[in-house]
Chain A
């Protein structure tokens, strides 16, 4: 049963993360609202033909990226997938730079050379969105190795989908990270579908990440990826443990994408009652209810939403006003000298 997979396992990791305090709870809410409004705007711009190519929206999956981002230290590293808008925004990249990149504008975070699937903002520790499934797990392990030998105390957090658990790089990275005790937290965002196919139909175990943890001597951690306080605590706990030299962790956070796999996919292969049950567990209204029932003034939450709407509008205006990239950048930045010359 799909819903069973969403039940948090009662086996907490050894270094339990902190419960969020009142300010942090608002940060978590704000972060999720900003991600949702950003994705909604990205979708609209796509439908208007202002975003080309493809895009893979993280609508419905915000609680994982938000919980992790709020728990991270500013100089920690994030590695994410082509479904990486939420994670890059969460680390602090501006909406203008991200929407500009989606729209292929000069103001884009990668100057229009990356696009939706390659959002990167290294100044915010967002070390890239990787579009070949699973490739970034060993790369994240490499950043963790660097942090380990430099003694910097930084942790790498690597997000990937359930589909990545069946590719070789997943297993190579997990094994090496465990053997070397690297400060890296692998977060599997299990949205139950590997593109158009139920992950359960193509995977030998029910929990594609958690059930593989034992193979690498790691705890099996299965959490509710739609509860932002759970993700904050559990991913935060794993980060804290990794920072203290406790080595890597593998966390499977079960969630659901509200839309299809990508722009081209209406997602009609999913049973409507399944979709409805997950829409009812939308992490944002659910958390809003939690906060208000705990006494948070609804006006405070309304203000967060209104501020976010204004931010998205302003970012859209600025991004749209930006020019397409100059042809002069085509042969720029292949090499560290800024150029592209391969001969004299």
Chain B
């Protein structure tokens, strides 16, 4: 067991997979010589050479198009899009080309690629470098969507994403890069489409993703002080979605609170609420509740940015209200 930061876990996973499979390549802006602007890829250029770890120009369409063409023809490439906000500049390639081509060609094409990207806020970067856009990807048929909350999940889920034969958009949370956690020695591979129950409870299920997970865990601790037993589930993978684990938890606790960093409309929590209402309605003791960022583009100043995203206080209050 070694303690790694979430940031180091990225390079750890990439190195693990590049050692194992010669068809894994990494490209992106500043990923090679500079080791990534978030320092998520240091050492890979030295370890695997300039052929397999390549810097690109600031050309997001070229980066995503390149990994698509390469994935169609025998490679298993990984692209870094520096900030997830920049996905908007190459959304045609991601949403129209990468996501749809297998379907449109009746399965003639396989697309084993990963687009890694730094998602989410909390770093005072303002509205164009802080968004949580996992729901953009979630609503496009043909994309898998993964967002880990801990270093060990970064390693296991990134490895699983690289080995997956379908395109995966892998959202790393930039607010978590400094977080530390234990990662077992040796090969670590997880499974996409599996949620994780992080804390068991009986009164309410709190479902969270990425940077909202530690907040949900902290909120559950505070609720416990008041005698409320909250179960915390880390979704980890939005597509495929482990609806079974979510429904089992809600059926047990009879109440659901989702905690989402994305703005209100069409957030992933709405889909989970919809599933729970359709499939576990008779197990519910009250209406499911969503805690989200308000439907705003995001401010920069620390004092207000922190209050824009769901806070531990807001999760605790909302959960108390949900419990009546």
Contacts and interface: CB of A to CB of B under 8 A. Distances in A.
Interface of A: 77, 79, 110-111, 113-114, 118, 120-123, 127-128, 130, 132, 135-147, 149-150, 154, 156, 168-169, 172-173, 175-176, 179-180, 329, 332-338, 340-344
Contacts, number: 169
Contacts of B92: 132, 135, 169
B128 interface: no
Given A138-B61, A149-B75, A168-B61, A336 B241 contact: no
B184 to A, nearest CB: 26
Contact of B106 (A113, A146, A343): A113
Interface of B: 25, 51-52, 54, 56-57, 59, 61-75, 77, 92-93, 96-97, 101-112, 141-142, 164-166, 193, 239-244, 275
A77 B66 contact: no
A118 B67 CA distance: 20
Given A334-B103, A344-B193, A344-B240, A142 B68 contact: yes
Contacts of B164: 336
A145 B243 contact: no
A111 B106 contact: yes
Contact of B240 (A138, A139, A342): A342
A225 B213 CA distance: 60
Given A120-B105, A135-B92, A142-B70, A173 B62 contact: yes
B242 A344 contact: yes
Given A139-B93, A147-B73, A113 B103 contact: yes
A133 to B, nearest CB: 10
A337 B101 CA distance: 15
A334 B141 CA distance: 7
B69 A145 contact: yes
Contacts of A139: 65-66, 68-69, 72, 93, 97
B145 to A, nearest CB: 10
Contact of B97 (A77, A120, A135, A334): A135
Nearest to B109: A122
21 contacts: A79-B69, A121-B108, A127-B72, A132-B92, A135-B61, A136-B97, A138-B62, A138-B64, A138-B65, A141-B62, A142-B73, A145-B70, A172-B59, A176-B66, A332-B106, A335-B102, A336-B165, A337-B165, A341-B240, A342-B240, A344-B241
Given A139-B93, A140-B69, A142-B68, A172 B62 contact: yes
Contact of B93 (A135, A150, A338): A135
Contacts of B108: 110, 120-123
Contact of A77 (B54, B73, B104, B110): B73
Nearest to B106: A111
Given A172-B65, A342-B141, 17 more contacts: A113-B104, A120-B101, A120-B108, A122-B108, A128-B101, A135-B92, A138-B59, A138-B93, A139-B65, A139-B93, A142-B66, A149-B52, A172-B61, A176-B66, A334-B103, A336-B110, A343-B243
B73 A141 contact: no
B104 A114 contact: yes
Contacts of B57: 172, 175-176, 179
A146 B74 contact: yes
A110 B65 contact: no
A8 B102 CA distance: 39
B105 A113 contact: yes
B90 to A, nearest CB: 9
Contacts of A121: 108
B233 to A, nearest CB: 14
Contacts of A333: 102-103, 106-107
A325 to B, nearest CB: 9
B59 A156 contact: no
Nearest to A112: B106
B105 A114 contact: yes
Closest 4 CB pairs of A and B: A142-B69, A138-B65, A336-B165, A172-B62
A140 B65 CA distance: 8
B87 to A, nearest CB: 15
Contacts of B104: 110, 113-114, 118, 120
A135 B65 CA distance: 8
Nearest to A118: B104
Nearest to A182: B66
A80 B244 CA distance: 43
Contacts of B73: 77, 127, 142-143, 146-147, 154
Contacts of B54: 180
Contacts of A335: 102, 142, 165-166
A344 B243 CA distance: 6
A186 B103 CA distance: 26
Contacts of B65: 135-139, 141-142, 169, 172-173
Contacts of A154: 73
Contact of B241 (A144, A150, A343): A343
Nearest to B246: A343
Given A77-B73, A110-B105, A122-B108, A176 B59 contact: yes
